[in-house]
Amino acid sequence: RRQRALLWAVLLAAWEAAWGQLRYSVPEEMPKGSFVGDVAKDLGLQLPALRDRGARVVSEVRTQYFSLHGKTGHLVTAERIDREQLCESVQQCVLRCELIVEGEMKFYEIEVEITDINDNAPSFKEIELEERISEVTAPGSRFPLAEAHDPDSGRNSLQSYELSGDEHFSLAVQAGPGGDQRPELVLAKALDREEAAFHELVLRASDGGDPALTGTARIRVTVLDANDNAPVFSQSEYTVRVPEDLPVGSVLITVMATDADEGLNGHVKYSLKKITEKASNIFHLDSENGEITLLRSLDFEEGNNYELEVRARDGGGLFDTTKVAIFVTDINDNAPLISVRSALSEVSEDAPSGTVVALLHVQDSDSGANGEVRCSLDGDVPFRLQSSHGSYYSVVTARELDREQVSEYNVTVRAADGGLRPLQSSAVLALRVLDVNDNAPVFAQERYSARVAENNAAGALVLTVLARDADWGQNARVRYRLSEGRVRGAPLSALFAIDREKGEIRTLGPLDFEDKSKYIFGLEARDGGGLVSHCKVQIDVMDENDNAPEI
């Protein structure tokens, strides 16, 4: 049966993958690491690409039940899964998660149905039951019995009841509104207290598994003297609405039943005939006064309605039943939650407008307006939010970036719900802008001039030029070079030299005023990215009295 289920999951996943969503099924209680589905194959991704692009599986629940096997690309179980614990009273148990591929800024939705196995036997909340029946009760009278509970589903759930032990009683099973089976004890033969004051019966509940599992409860029937008035509730159904922040210990509602008899036959006691295990941990019924109080805090997100069935029984064993419907109203007690699914730490300043820098998921567990979330970015930043799909948002560039103006951004994403008193949360994205070589060097002066005495020593410093580049790193590194030129047939580089890093111009030998009194030449500044700028340099040679008169 498990092999057929896995084959069906693979065929269904191949059809769903084309729509961006994968669906699989896996039986409950499988060991950790069990195969669920071939995600890599169903999505058409190669295993090396899947690993290199940072693929991972995430879900909104606290416990991560699935993970991605890095070597095979298979979706496998990360924990042993108990269907009855996860999906109480839910016919189809589906767990949802997402496959995030960071390198592609993509995500794929995955649904995994947890199929049931027959790992729970039917059981009664109390294995010792007591019924008190008057001896004047007419044959054919029916008495509701405690129902067995089997958390399994389908054929593995509760299927039948049978009664054994006494000819005075038989069993009838009624179908409830929801299709559940409700056992009733039927009086088949008139009772005689003087003949037998007690009757011992066994009620057996069976499920439809193969093999079938069973649970039993012993029923002790006490035969009572006549009691001709049963309790009567003031209402056939009680309804109450309470906020989820109601304090523990508060009284939600009081049910009331009256009995026209006197003494013990008119004394009414209350009990819960039908209640789920979850509700039994939340509500308490006072057996004497009918008050239903709160045992622990309510949570609208865990459960927004409960139905209880209350029985009022008098001292003679007669009873009446009523329903109590409790509706929990939501309050705005959950702030939106921002999850950064994927984000860049660096972006180039020449990135085009619309470049995705982060993928966010926003969720609010409240309902209605309290769960409606609006997202925004703080401050005047060159980014904007873009709704992607469902609760996903992308942070994208809104215009071109300029590293020379702002080199780093701390982008604050804020999410606020629609409550009367809105709750909000925020997340900060740190982003560094990478430099591109978009600025040429700029000389401090367009034209430099200096004076130097003739007959100077070789290596004498004439002047220092300076060019700055607004870029960063190698793009901002400036080097200097003399322009090509000749003076009286000799290259300019034979007279002057410039330090490529510092911009210092020095003479390579003595200058002669009588030979040439002025030098004008060009300089080049080039950055590490190849951008160039130029300036002019004029050097005047000052005369010294180094020549005697000639006759």
Q: Is the peptide bond before 211 cis (omega within 30 degrees of 0)?
A: yes
CATH number of the domain located at residue range(s) 337-434 in this protein: 2.60.40.60
Specify the pLDDT at position 17.
43
Instruction: Express each pLDDT in 55-99 by its tens digit.
Output: 888 888 788 889 888 788 889 998 998 888 888 767 788 999 998
Residue 12 in this model has a pLDDT that exceeds 50: no
CA distance 395 to 415: 13
Does residue 486 register a pLDDT over 90? no
- CATH 3.40.50.300 is the classification of domain 123-224: no
Name the superfamily (CATH) of residues 21-115: Cadherins (2.60.40.60)
Q: Identify the CATH number of the domain defined by range 232-329.
A: 2.60.40.60
Token pair 């004047």 is found at 136
Nearest to 270 by CA among 239, 248, 292: 292
Are the C-beta atoms of 64 and 74 separated by less than 8 Å? Answer: no
Query: Coil, strand, or helix at residue 370?
Result: helix
Predicted confidence band of residue 6 (pLDDT cuts 50, 70, 90): very low
Specify whether the CB–CB gap between 253 and 270 falls below 8 A. no
**Residue 183: partners with Cβ closer than 8 Å, 6 or more residues away:** 144, 145, 147, 161, 163, 171, 172, 173, 203
C-alpha distance from residue 291 to each of 244, 272, 284, 288 (Å): 19, 12, 8, 8
Across residues 178-202, what is the average pLDDT? 86
Say how many residues make up the chain: 551
CATH no. of 442-542? 2.60.40.60
**Beta strands 237-243; 319-329: pairing state:** parallel
In tens, the pLDDT along 256-282 reads: 999 887 778 889 999 998 888 888 899
Q: Where are the domains of the chain?
A: 21-115, 123-224, 232-329, 337-434, 442-542
Q: What pLDDT shows up at residue 20?
A: 58
pLDDT over threshold 60, residue 334: yes
**pTM tops 0.95, yes or no:** no
Q: What is the pLDDT of residues 429-456, one digit of tens each?
A: 999 998 888 889 999 999 999 999 888 8
Is 21-115's fold the same as 442-542's?
Answer: yes
Is 7 a residue whose pLDDT tops 50? no
Sequence-ordered strand ranges (E) for 176-333: 181-187, 198-207, 214-224, 232-233, 237-243, 251-254, 257-258, 269-274, 283-285, 291-294, 305-313, 319-329
